[in-house]
Structure 1
Amino acid sequence: MTLQRSIEEINKKIEDGEANIYTAEEFKKLIKEQNAPSFEEVDVVTCGTCGVMSGTAAILNFIVSPPGEFIRAEKVYFNGVPAFAGPCPNEWLGEVDVILHGTTHSIDDENYGGGFLLKEIMEGKSVDVVVESVDGKTIENTITIDDINRAQIVGSRMAFKNYTAFTNPGKAPVSSIFAAIPLEGNFSGLTFSGCGDINPLQNDIPHNVINEGKRVLLNGACGYILGDGTRSNAEKPNLMISADLTKMNPYYFGGFKTSQGGEIFNTVAIPIPVLSEKIYNNLLITDEDVKLPVADIKGRHLPLCETNYHELWKDYDLRPKYDENKCSSCDDCIVERVCPTNAFSKGIDLSRCFGCGMCANFCRHDAFDMNTGDVNLEIDKREVNVPIICRQSDRLRANKLALELKKMIKNQEFKL
């Protein structure tokens, strides 16, 4: 007999305070301890992922001047970051609609882009706006989030199920969006993305409950899955998701510097109601089961070998410990330069720290203690030990948002 239950039954248990809800991290821990709850003992599992998600854009509407001062915007810049004016012309209204890409770089600084800018807007900081109009006028103003009438984040490719890890088998350093700084050759380091067995799409194969119209948390705000993301397919699925920027928590969102300029990271949490044995069985996957191809940093089309997420996460540290007594306050601090989220400036800001590991791997004076691990790879019939030098995903943030979602469901603040 196949075991199953309905959403209505689960919602009734939630209303009665009787639902068994786990985060994916809690559930996987019980599996690894060989103490997994049975189908009857689990109603919902909240899964999360956090990482660089390039296909992120914001749609913004705001007033830049009184009506009648210019016809319509032709070019718009926020702190030097270009945005696309339109599609609505708003003739003579003094307001502007724009689409701002998270990966667009400032005209003044390639490491400052849409991700850093949008985080500053979320934080309530002032932003300088320059509008160049079709009638040759330049309008300058300063705005904050309170001046924005509408702000919607749309992610065209989010919560990827599949990633690729990268190393450099060549001799010369290679710049890439997949490395915070040019990746040195001779297998000197490995960079990777993906939260492994807590990732929503790893726990719902194929999409049994994660589908169009489903409510999710995007950077702490309630949002919706719009459908499959761009370049999504059965083997490598991802999602298109949208939510209100003004309701997001900036902790879960931000810019991420790479050796090819600024990128953007997001955090997504999705509930999986355990409606059937099939859905339950999918949740039993662990990091050891989640394979990860390793490729040449010059391209995903150049595979080298394969590993799994257990080898990359294990019990490695999620955050560095900073010893200010070892810090020499270098005039040219390499950590300030290589930190992808600008979390270090004569001291570490853990609210901005991504746990990537760059500080611990590159500080000249060992002021940062963090075990990011290494991985043994078999390449061309020989074993190569490669240190993990940069993570482009953050399990700590992913777990926090999954826990936040669990609490919201229990408190009936988030309806399945």
Structure 2
Amino acid sequence: MTNNRTIDEINNKIANGEANIYTAEEFKKLIKKDETPSFDEVDVVTCGTCGVMSGTAAILNFVVSGPGEFIRANEVYLNGVPANAGPCPNEWLGSVDAILHGTTHSIHDKNYGGGFLLKDILEGKEIDVRVESADGKTIKNTITKEDIIRAQIIGTRMAFKNYTAFTNPNKEAISSIFAATPLEGDLKGLTFSGCGDLNPLQNDVSQNVIKEGTKILLNGAQGYVLGNGTRSSAEKPNLMLTADLTQMDPYYIGGFKTGQGGEVYDTVAIPIPVLNEEIYNNLLITDDKVNIPVSDIKGRHLPLTQTNYAELWGEYSLRPQYDRTECSKCDSCIVEEICPTNAFENERLDLAHCFGCGMCANYCHHDAFDMQTGSVDLTINDNDVNIPIICRQSDRLRGNKLALKLKKMIQNQEFKL
């Protein structure tokens, strides 16, 4: 007979301090050590993922002038990043409704876009605002987070169960959103996305738990699942999520430079209450069982072969070690130029902004950065090749941290299942 529990029963155990709650990382480590907790020994597993999530948008309302100074906004720019005015016209109110896309680039710098702007807002920085109004006026002002009346993130395509790794079998280098620099040809490097067995959807493949109305953490703020996202499929599901932007932690959201300009990354954590044995059995998946296709970066949907997340993540480093004494103070620092999150500037590495992508260690000319990102053995076109992993567009460290935050919030009854 299949065992069953109810949410109320688990909540009662939590209230009494009797619930066994694991993060996905903790749970998978026990599985890998052959110490898997039994069904009766686990009540909740908190799962987390972090990565570039292009379908991120913010709905904002803020005041830019006194009432009656302009009819309505036609065009809105925040630090040079265009936002769509409306849908409400706010006639003569001096306030603006706008929808900002995380992937929209500044008119001044394609590497600065919505993702960087959202982090700047959350970090309390002053934001330059320019409004072109319907009556031909230009209104300029500055705002901070405190001036924003309402702000909501809606992610249309988030937390993909798994994605794709890319390499370049062509002769010429290819510029793409899936690589921070043009990816060299002749299979000289591999880039990938996905947090493997830590991903919420990877642990609830049948979506017994993760469905419309499920409570989540999005970039540290409590939010909800609106349903499955755009371009979601049975094989590669993703989610439409929402939460209050002003309640988010800037550590978990930001910009990520690619070969095609600025993108945006987000972090998602979702609790999996273990209500029955089917849900429990789905949690037993480990990285070595999670396959990921390897595709031609020029074709994107042309699989060359496949690997798994154990090969991609392994026991490799999640953050670089920077030795300033090894820095040669180059006139033009390649790491400062290509760092996707601008974490390295003026010979200093800001670990709070570091994404653990591995670009610094793979591109520094003088080995000032030490980070093992690994390589993967593949068979492509009947040839055995070993390809170095040069760029990760997902961050297991942030995913783990948010899953741990969620675990503690559940234990402290700050987050109700």
Q: Which TM-score band applies after superposition, normalised by the shorter structure?
A: over 0.9
Aligned to 1:354: 355
Aligned to 1:379: 380
- SS, match of residue 325 in structure 1: helix
Q: Deviations over 1:89-136 (max 9, x none)?
A: 000000000000000000010000000001000000000000000100
Aligned to 2:329: 329
Q: Distance in 2 between matches of 1:249 and 1:215?
A: 17
Q: Distance in 2 between matches of 1:291 and 1:330?
A: 41
**2:268 equivalent to 1:229:** no
**2:397 equivalent to 1:396:** yes
Q: Distance in 2 between matches of 1:300 and 1:17?
A: 48
C-alpha displacement of 1:300: 2.2
Q: Distance in 1 between matches of 2:248 and 2:86?
A: 24
Q: Distance in 2 between matches of 1:304 and 1:347?
A: 39
Residues 28 and 284, structure 2, Cα contact 8 Å, conserved in 1:
yes
CA RMSD of aligned residues (A): 0.5
Tell me the amino acid that sits aligned with residue 23 of structure 1: T
User: How does 1:295-310 map onto structure 2 within 5 Å?
Assistant: 295-310=295-310
C-alpha displacement of 1:301: 1.8
> Tell me, which stretches of 5 or more residues in structure 2 are unaligned?
none
- SS, match of residue 325 in structure 2: coil
**2:222 equivalent to 1:238:** no
**2:275 equivalent to 1:313:** no
C-alpha displacement of 1:205: 1.3
- SS, match of residue 328 in structure 1: coil
Q: Distance in 1 between matches of 2:331 and 2:174?
A: 26
Aligned to 2:15: 15
C-alpha displacement of 1:235: 1.3
What's the TM-score, normalizing by structure 1?
A: 1.00
Tell me the amino acid that sits aligned with residue 194 of structure 1: G
- Find runs of 4+ consecutive structure 1 residues off by over 4 angstroms: none
Tell me the amino acid that sits aligned with residue 195 of structure 1: C
Aligned to 1:152: 152
C-alpha displacement of 1:302: 1.2
Aligned to 1:84: 84
Q: Distance in 1 between matches of 2:299 and 2:290?
A: 21
Tell me the amino acid that sits aligned with residue 271 of structure 2: P
> Tell me, which stretches of 5 or more residues in structure 1 are unaligned?
none
Q: Deviations over 1:144-194 (max 9, x none)?
A: 000000011110000001200000001100000000000000100000000
Q: Distance in 1 between matches of 2:353 and 2:184?
A: 26
C-alpha displacement of 1:261: 0.4
Q: Distance in 2 between matches of 1:299 and 1:321?
A: 35
Aligned to 2:38: 38
Aligned to 2:137: 137
Tell me the amino acid that sits aligned with residue 257 of structure 1: K
C-alpha displacement of 1:311: 0.2
Count residues with an aligned counterpart: 416
**2:95 equivalent to 1:95:** yes
Residues 162 and 196, structure 2, Cα contact 8 Å, conserved in 1:
no
Q: Distance in 2 between matches of 1:277 and 1:210?
A: 16
Percent of residue pairs identical: 75
Aligned to 1:127: 127
Tell me the amino acid that sits aligned with residue 287 of structure 1: D
